[in-house]
Amino acid sequence: MMIPLLILTLVSLLCSSLAFDLKGRVVWNEICPGIGDLGQAKVVLDNGNLYGSVTRNGQFVIPEVPSGTYILSVVAHDHAFERLRIDVLDTDTLPEVRPYVPGTPLSPPSPVTLPYPITLIPRARYDYYTPQESFNLVGMFQNPMMLLMLGTGVLMLAMPYIMKNMDPEVLQEFKERQAKITDIQSSIQNGDLKTGLSAMMGGEEKTSPAPAPKPQASAARNRGKNKRR
């Protein structure tokens, strides 16, 4: 029983010796003057597997980070920070800090290195407020539906003046067509399709011109009458 306990103790000591406490600080600037503006923020590795909180003086510590390659980011509600690539080595040397652009592959690493302890600078402040749009008369008339309604209203207002200047025969024909269309619509709305179809067919028969008599046939008839006389 003593041998397994000794092995577990040695393994835990070895792992703790290989782990590294990652340290850094947030530099206050005009975008984020202090911890009051930053609020509750965390510095995380690989989307939160390992993390450390930011203190009042801007410092943070991520404890017991095993050797490997990580992406460091800051989880803050109102501020944006750059992401960094952190390489924790197996040796006792300091970790390597490099800039990282989201979406780029981790291999090969960037030749640019940054100093350690890690320095994080707020780059931007999120703006969640969307101002309410004010009334815009020009923008309202740019809407196609509004233009269609406006054109229909102008046509309705101008219709009496147009009808006054129309030819009486054309006006009478226009009124007859309007009455016929109204009768067809009312019959269809009442469910009387037969009456509506008959009105449509009757209108077509009335509007179709009568065939003109052939001049040759009338001339032949007149010759026959003269011979009989």
Residues 161-205: pLDDT tens digits? Answer: 777 777 778 778 877 887 877 877 777 777 766 665 676 666 544
Spatial contact of 20 and 50, defined as CB atoms under 8 Å apart: no
Q: How far is CA 94 from CA 43, 86, 87, 115, 205, in A?
A: 19, 10, 9, 10, 100
Tell me the mean pLDDT in the region 59-77: 92
Q: Is 99 helix (H, G, I), strand (E, B) or coil?
A: strand
Per-residue pLDDT band for 150 (boundaries 50, 70, 90) equals confident
Confidence (pLDDT) at 14: 43
What pairs with residue 73 in β-bridges? 44
Backbone dihedral angles phi then psi of residue 110, each to the nearest 5 degrees:
-70, 140
Residues 31-41: pLDDT tens digits? Answer: 999 999 998 89
Residues listed for the chain: 229
Per-residue pLDDT band for 20 (boundaries 50, 70, 90) equals confident
